[in-house]
Amino acid sequence: MTRYAKQILDLINKSDEHLSAEQIFLRLKQTFPKLVLATVYNNLHQLHQQDLIRKVSVEGCPDRYDKMIRHDHLVCKRCGALSDITLNDLTAQLQAQICEPIFSYDLKISYLCPACRRDDPSAPDAAPNR
């Protein structure tokens, strides 16, 4: 693993944010002034291929990167804000339904974040009754 890959992995694993490649680049550029954005993208690709990080894609937003700890995501339909949510692991249930082994899954739940609900008077104030 290259020194940049180690730094990127460490940054992602210690972050409570879902960082984009550009955000990672700007943070590492402070320590490594000669770093170029392409190096960050290349290392992110390698780390993702090695299953050391997760890539979270949301339509209309740049890809963001996250640690491999098992969790799911809430995605604001309006602003693209990404929040972690921990739900029960559904792997066994999904495998039983499709009768095939599952390596992993990525659950993204669309909703309106509190800020977007506040800004939109027509948005529902609370979750519907179950």
- Beta pairing partners, 108: 73
- Give the C-alpha separation, 41 to 126, whole Å: 39
Residue-number span of the structural domain to which 27 is assigned: 1-68
Chain center to CA of 44: 13
Task: Verify that 57 and 110 share a domain, yes or no.
Answer: no
Structure tokens at 111: 């909703």
- Note down pLDDT in tens along the chain; length 130 residues: 889 999 999 999 999 999 999 999 999 999 999 999 999 999 999 999 999 999 999 888 999 999 998 899 999 999 999 999 999 888 888 889 999 888 888 889 999 999 999 888 777 664 444 3
Q: What is the CATH number for 115?
A: 3.30.1490.190
Residues for the chain: how many in total?
130
Q: Which of 68, 91, 106 is the last residue in one of the domains?
A: 68
| DSSP run (H or E) holding 26 | helix 21-29
Task: Verify that 47 and 79 share a domain, yes or no.
Answer: no
